[in-house]
Amino acid sequence: MGRPYRRCELCPRACRANREAGERGFCGEGAALRLASASLHRGEEPPVTGEGGSGTIFVTGCSLGCVFCQNRQISRERMGRAVGTDEFAGICLALQHAGAENINLVTGTHAAPALRLGVERARARGLRIPVCWNSSAYEAPASLAEAEAFADWYLPDLKTLDPRIAGRLFGAPDYPQAARDAVLRMTQARPGRVIVRHLILPGLLDSTREVLRWFAERLAGRALLSLMTQYTPVSGIDAGAPPRPLSPAEYDQALTWLSEFGIEEGFCQERPSGAPDRDWLPDFSRPNPFPSSLSTPVWHWGQ
Ligand code: SF4
């Protein structure tokens, strides 16, 4: 793909920033691949975590703008450092050596070309484990084409199909159309190797119902659903983010819709119990951004 960072259209924002020349678009990133951390992560879905943990690599920058983002330090505040292709490959191999079940690339849409080069270099140097493309699904054809060159599994979000919610909470009213297109393309590229994640937003259950209905109609049998209940209010409340965690009644409501729409295969986080579990919230300024029960660090931007 030519020079993808020259007039960047890697995500639907299509900023056309000349990232080669140092310009930065909405995602905040130039042409260099920058990472925040790499670790064995044990908080993913069971087949992703496996026995050894998922080799999770957090990419700095993000093309979406979720007002309640829990990874704000890296998505908006640019925490991380540049790594070259060889160093990236070395990080992948270190994760494999540490026992990772897979390489799990988190939110790499805006860096897809560099990640493709890095994975190809890692494979040439002995990487054997599968690679997962863990994405917001706010993707454009350009980034999807890059990911298709190397991704074995897809872990896309499907945050909402309501343009008003997408505009207000994610800064992207075009998210629903882009995400629908992206998820359908992923299931065509890797049938049966897609796990669609939906985080239930407290107080916005109609949005969850619409996502579940669409999943049942368009993806059942070709993808697994992962229903997530871990929403924790930390920021963005002034901007309209839900100010509270999910209630047990809302959780039960979502489960009834799984039955109503016949969604039987997939994963569901446990019922929320009272106060939000802030242990899940990462701090990327620490060598291990997550609690040690969840994560074993292998690489950190500050090292
Ligand atoms: S990846 Fe970044 S620079 Fe490129 S179009 Fe998206 S927000 Fe703009």
Break the chain into its structural domains and give their ranges: 19-300
* Predicted TM-score of the model (pTM): 0.96
CA angle, 54 as apex, 134 and 81 as ends, to 5°? 65
- Ligand 1, residue 8: give the atom nearest the CA: 4
**Position 254, amino acid:** A
pLDDT at res. 96: 98
pLDDT at res. 234: 82
Cα atoms in the 13 Å half-sphere on the side-chain side of 167 = 5
Residue 111 CA to ligand 1 center (angstroms) comes to 9
pLDDT at res. 275: 62
pLDDT at res. 187: 97
User: What residue owns the CA closest to ligand 1's atom 5?
Assistant: 14
Alpha carbon distance 93, 280 (integer Å):
26
Structural element, H or E, at residue 214: helix 205-218
Name the residue of 3, 9, 11 whose CB sits within 8 Å of the most ligand 1 atoms, as the mutation to test its pocket. Answer: 11
8 Å CB contact between 143 and 105? no
- Ligand 1, residue 15: give the atom nearest the CA: 8
Residue 255 CA to ligand 1 center (angstroms) comes to 36
Q: Note every long-range contact of 170-177, with CB atoms under 8 Å and residues 24 or more positions apart, other chains counting.
A: 170/64, 170/65, 170/66, 170/67, 170/138, 171/64, 171/65, 171/66, 171/67, 172/12, 172/13, 172/64, 172/65, 172/138, 174/12, 175/12, 175/64, 175/137, 175/138
Q: At what angle do helices 112-124 and 85-97 cross, to 10 degrees?
A: 60
User: What residue owns the CA closest to ligand 1's atom 2?
Assistant: 27
Ramachandran sector of residue 299 (left: φ over 0; alpha: ψ -120 to 50; beta: rest): beta
**What is the homologous superfamily of the domain 19-300 according to CATH?**
Aldolase class I (3.20.20.70)
User: What residue owns the CA closest to ligand 1's atom 6?
Assistant: 11
pLDDT at res. 239: 84
User: For the segment 81-139, what is each residue's pLDDT rounded down to a tens digit?
Assistant: 999 999 999 999 999 999 999 999 999 999 999 999 999 999 999 999 999 999 999 99
- Residues with C-beta less than 6 Å from any ligand 1 atom: 8-11, 13-15, 17, 19, 25-27, 63, 110
* Residue 110 per-residue DSSP state: G
Ramachandran sector of residue 171 (left: φ over 0; alpha: ψ -120 to 50; beta: rest): left
- Ligand 1, residue 23: give the atom nearest the CA: 3
Which residues lie closer than 8 Å to 94 by C-beta, 6 or more apart? 38, 298, 299
Which residues lie closer than 8 Å to 77 by C-beta, 6 or more apart? none
| pLDDT-flagged residues of the chain (< 50) | none
Tell me the pairing of strands 295-300 and 34-41.
antiparallel
Facing residues of 144 across strands? none
- Give the residue from 182, 170, 165, 166 showing the smallest Cα distance to 219: 182
pLDDT at res. 274: 63
8 Å CB contact between 265 and 224? yes
